[in-house]
Amino acid sequence: MNDCKRRKRPFLLGPSFIGLPAEGGYCLLVALGLLSIGLHRRINLLLLLGDVLVVITVLNLVAAGRSLRGVQARRRFDEWLFAGTPCRVEVQLSNPSRNARLELRIYDEGLDHAAAWLIDYLPAQGSVTWRRQVVLPRRGRYTWGALRASSGYPFGLVERRRLLTAEETVTVLPCLGWLHRGRFLRYLRNLSVQPRPLSLRQKPRPSPRAQAEFHGLRSYRSSDSPRLIHWRTSARRGELMVREFEDEPSDNLILLLDPTLPTEAGPWGMSLREPFEGLISLTASICWEWCRRRDDRLVLAAATAEPLVLDGVTGPEQARRILEYLAVLECGPGPADGAVIGRLQARRLPAALVVVVALGRSALIEPLRRALGRPVYCLDAMRMDSFDFYTPPTS
């Protein structure tokens, strides 16, 4: 696999392209000069040399076109394309004809990437595959340019190009950080939106759903009460085991994303662009960590002009839905749209933690608490440096 540079921009001719490199341009100029001098001075030798150069150029044009005939290509990406993370791109070039193809160049270009490969020999009825890594810097829709092949075989005087695959639009998912689930839950337990007097604070209690009939033992989860640990079995197995009941406690989670920018922070969309991307990465990292464990309930709601509620069971499908939505979400000026609270109130929400993720203190916290009748916790993405449970992605 060799990188090569484009020498001249081709011009369009029907379904294919024809380019004239510097060598071909000089050859044609010399041919025209010889023909003009030969005609003016009536020198047959100069006329013969000029004709030879013209014939060679025409033969190069025909041979380069035949070298591209029948060549097929297929391009594959990783299933999950994350911003700021190397993703694998695979290009497979095949030749179904009975004749080998020589001296081919493959161009794969886009807004944030460009690459080219030189193929010395493509066997008859064979294929060649290349794999490389590309880092896409931004989330959102990304247009992958068309895949093209060119050939100047055999003399390099004329370059023929052909479109192999059309351009594709892919979704680049938000950049992920690292989230520690246990520390995150402990942080929320200590971060009540409505602080109460010390004498009225209740001690942590096992989930009321876990007080049903005893069912068995299972591995310890971060949300389990220490009172449920079966120490004798844990010592024997070398890992923490807890008593399992018919209705075991789950790690259900309800996230409300407030994408509005604080008005006191400066002009909209300028100074807070980077913090907003951090907000998106934080939300995506929480959802990604929750979807790694199946069969819990994860609800993501966004306080946008057209409020959206993504409700589903944790797993790859729910992770894909949420991350693709976050990939194209844009920030906006305040105030936050409270219509999303009505959408949440109309649903049968599970017993779960309710968390608002925002830049600063969101205006939706108190209305959401009153509407749902539950404690609401707030994650301020402007204070991300104080989080001991989250490591932002490296730029």
Which structural domains are found in the chain, ordered by start?
A: 1-172 (2.60.40.10), 178-193+251-391 (3.40.50)
pLDDT of residue 285: 97
Per-residue DSSP letter, 203: P
Sorted by sequence, the CB contacts under 8 Å of residue 231 that are 6+ apart come out as none
326-381 pLDDT, tens per residue?
A: 999 988 766 677 889 999 999 889 899 999 999 988 889 999 999 999 999 999 99
3-state secondary structure (DSSP) of residue 286? helix
Q: Alpha-carbon distance 222 to 228, whole Å?
A: 12
> In this predicted structure, what is the pLDDT of residue 224?
77
d(CA 35, CA 271): 66
- The pLDDT, as a whole number, for residue 175 is 95
Helix axes 181-189, 273-291, angle to 10 degrees: 110
378 with 355: CB under 8 angstroms?
A: yes
Bridge partners, residue 242, by sequence: 218, 229
Partners of 379 in beta bridges? 357
Q: Do residues 106 and 148 make contact, with C-beta atoms less than 8 angstroms apart?
A: yes
User: Residues in the chain with pLDDT < 70?
Assistant: 1-16, 192-215, 223, 244-250, 263-271, 333-335, 395
Question: Under 8 Å CB-to-CB from 273, ≥6 apart: which residues?
Answer: 331
Q: Is 328 helix (H, G, I), strand (E, B) or coil?
A: helix
The residues, any chain, with a CB within 8 Å of residue 202's CB and separated by 6 or more, are none
Give me the half-sphere count of Cα atoms (radius 13 Å) on the Cβ side of residue 6. 15
CA–CA dist 90, 100 (Å, integer):
22
Task: In whole angstroms, give the CA distance from residue 395 to residue 361.
Answer: 26
Percent of the chain with pLDDT over 70: 85
Maximum distance among all Cα pairs of the chain, rounded to whole angstroms: 114
Centroid of chain to Cα 231: 44
Centre a 10 Å sphere on the Cβ of residue 309 and count the other Cβ atoms it contains: 16
Q: Is residue 207 a contact partner of residue 225, using CB atoms and an 8 Å limit? A: yes
Question: Which of 315, 286, 318, 312 has its CA nearest to residue 297?
Answer: 312
Strand partners, 93: 73, 128
Amino acid 268: pLDDT:
45
Tokens read off for 389: 């449970």
